[in-house]
């Protein structure tokens, strides 16, 4: 398992948190997701054999948010 | 049909707009809903024989937003 923290712009409320968490939890290989709305941070614990950082970023992007770092 | 414009605090994104619009459209007697996210305004066209202003405000409140005027 690896840890990843992404900086994500555009998340503004609980619905946004739910949509990001929901999208990431649907990916295979994700074991934990934590979104810090105030800081605009998304923490993910993932299995690098099953899912790539690129796929994680893409899932967030598809929900309409910008992964900036 | 009557027109009503409410000032609503806490709506921050498209999900919020959808949840307010969805809740109001489920009420009987509502014929039109428009949410202006930037101004925090909710415009409703409603049949006062079927639904009260109180019920409209309550539906918004139940979605987690404050009707302030």
Per the document, the length of chain A is: 69
pTM: 0.82
Write out pLDDT tens, residues A30-41: 999 999 999 999
Instruction: pLDDT tens for chain B, 69 residues: list them.
Output: 999 999 999 999 999 999 999 999 999 999 999 999 999 999 999 999 999 999 999 999 999 999 999
In angstroms, the CA A41 to CA B47 distance is: 45
Residues 21 through 60 of chain A touching chain B, CB cutoff 8 Å: none
Q: Which residues of A touch B64 (CB under 8 A)?
A: 14
How confident is the model at residue A23, as a pLDDT? Answer: 97
Domain boundaries, chain A: 2-67
How confident is the model at residue B40, as a pLDDT? Answer: 97
Is the alpha carbon torsion for B53, B54, B56, B60 positive or negative? positive
Question: How many angstroms away from the CA of B41 is the closest CA of chain A?
Answer: 18
Domain B2-67: assigned CATH number: 3.30.70.100
In angstroms, the CA A32 to CA A46 distance is: 7
Determine contact, residues A46/A1, Cβ cutoff 8 Å: yes
In angstroms, the CA A54 to CA A3 distance is: 14
Q: What is the ipTM of this complex?
A: 0.70
- Count CB pairs under 8 A between chains A and B: 17
């Amino acid at each position: 398992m690896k840890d990843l923290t992404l900086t994500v712009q555009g998340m503004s409320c609980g619905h946004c948190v739910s949509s990001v968490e929901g999208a990431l939890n649907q990916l295979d290989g994700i074991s934990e997701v934590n979104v810090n709305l105030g800081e605009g941070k998304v923490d993910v614990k993932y299995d690098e054999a099953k899912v790539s950082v690129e796929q994680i970023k893409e899932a967030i992007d598809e929900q309409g948010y910008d992964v900036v770092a």
